[in-house]
Amino acid sequence: MFTLQNSELKDVQEKVERCERLTFDDGVRLFESNDLPFLGFLANQVRARLNQNQVFYSVNLHLNHTNVCTAHCVFCAFARRPHEEGGYTMSCDEVLAKIEDAVSRFPINEVHIVGGLNPELGLEYYVDMFRAIRSRFPSLFIKALTAVEIDDLARRMHLGWYELLSILKEAGLNGLPGGGAEIFKEATRKKICSEKTTSEDWLSIHKAAHHLGLFSNCTMLYGHIESIEDRVDHVLRLRELQGETRGFQSFIPLAFNAEHTPLERKGEVGGYTDLKVYAVSRLLFDNIRHIKVHWTTLDLKLAQVSLSFGVDDVGGTNLNEKIMHDAGNETPTDLSEQSLKSLICEAGYEPCLVDSSYQCEEK
């Protein structure tokens, strides 16, 4: 069998081969290593063990129903303050029309809805929207509202998270996206998004969702001001919750796009760090099956290379994605299903179209 060696990480390699859980210190040492081929080699062993030669993808529609937001996250180029020029909010009919248009042109199986913290939008708006989507498109998986949006809505409506999630589930919600996690380490989180839901609350909201039978994803925003220790801490807190609930379907590292944000002058990390984040995450997460690349945050070619660094899911076609592109991302706004399949096949993997619960659809 082809193998790579690294004398400094020999003990970690042995743990990976024995399927043993890696520690915080192991994670830090892996991040400190510059032996990228070795990290990719190790990560791919885990990836192959969990997902063989398959790479998953879906055909989905992204809808950002409002960009009006009361928060001031320093990395965000999407939000507009209430009454600021350029702010928009879609009506329920506009949301339905967007979905109708996408459904008539593409075989979408999921709608992904996230937006700003708009003080004008109450519970009725979301319940009406989810009910209308569920009634018009019964088989569409509705993945909507980050934990931060859930937290904001719950506070304004004087509801507990569990109560609010139950009402939204009843109206048609199927799962939560993983956004808003950013970086959990409190001191760092305070510097980049002080007004946002705390780390502890973000985790509690996902825990409540999992207890209600709503699956969710989890993310980490990297490449801003976080340290290596912050990254490992973040991953291990998610791993701990997953050990309790088993409700996370995939982990999605999100590369920070600095353009049009107050951190623009600081610049962005390079592809070397991107690939390292994917590989080390794959090695630390022994209880989340899928590591997903969000190709809208990476160069498409690098997203393809990440398939050799532990990634097994290239996400969806993301028709209509807006948030990342407002932050200066220059990837296409959406990809055709054929482009996603070609990207996977060229890298030597087997494309597998899935719905939001990772059920393979025959093609």
Binding site for ligand SF4 (CB under 6 A): 69, 71, 73, 76, 78-79, 116-117, 148
Q: Could you tell me the smallest distance in angstroms from the CB atom of residue 126 to ligand SF4?
A: 16
Measured from the CB atom, is 79 or 214 closer to ligand SF4? 79
DSSP characters over 163-181: HHHHHHHHHT--EE--TT-
Q: How many CB atoms within 10 Å of residue 3?
A: 8
Q: Could you tell me the smallest distance in angstroms from the CB atom of residue 327 to ligand SF4?
A: 9
Structural tokens at position 14: 């042995």
Structural tokens at position 356: 């939001």
Q: Could you tell me the smallest distance in angstroms from the CB atom of residue 153 to ligand SF4?
A: 12
Measured from the CB atom, is 116 or 310 closer to ligand SF4? 116
DSSP symbol at 20: P
Measured from the CB atom, is 73 or 108 closer to ligand SF4? 73
Measured from the CB atom, is 137 or 222 closer to ligand SF4? 222
CB of 241 closer than 8 Å to CB of 285: no
Measured from the CB atom, is 79 or 173 closer to ligand SF4? 79
H runs (alpha helix) in the chain: 10-17, 24-32, 36-51, 92-105, 123-136, 147-157, 161-171, 186-193, 199-211, 228-245, 271-284, 300-305, 323-326, 337-346
Q: Could you tell me the smallest distance in angstroms from the CB atom of residue 152 to ligand SF4?
A: 8
Q: Could you tell me the smallest distance in angstroms from the CB atom of residue 79 to ligand SF4?
A: 4
CA dist 152 and 79 (Å) reads 15
Let me know if 258 is exposed, middle or buried by CB neighbors in 10 A (0-12, 13-18, 19+). buried
Measured from the CB atom, is 118 or 249 closer to ligand SF4? 118
Q: Could you tell me the smallest distance in angstroms from the CB atom of residue 78 to ligand SF4?
A: 5
Measured from the CB atom, is 233 or 326 closer to ligand SF4? 326
Secondary structure class of 110 (helix, strand, coil): strand
Q: Could you tell me the smallest distance in angstroms from the CB atom of residue 115 to ligand SF4?
A: 7
Within 13 Å of residue 149, how many CA atoms lie on the same side as its CB? 27
Q: Name 58's bridge partners.
A: 316
DSSP characters over 296-327: TTS-HHHHHHGGGTT--EEEE--BT--HHHHT
Secondary structure class of 208 (helix, strand, coil): helix
Q: Could you tell me the smallest distance in angstroms from the CB atom of residue 68 to ligand SF4?
A: 9
Measured from the CB atom, is 78 or 295 closer to ligand SF4? 78
Q: Could you tell me the smallest distance in angstroms from the CB atom of residue 241 to ligand SF4?
A: 21
Secondary structure class of 219 (helix, strand, coil): strand
Q: Look at residues 141, 154, 114, 128 and name the one whose alpha carbon lies nearest to residue 58.
A: 141
Measured from the CB atom, is 75 or 285 closer to ligand SF4? 75
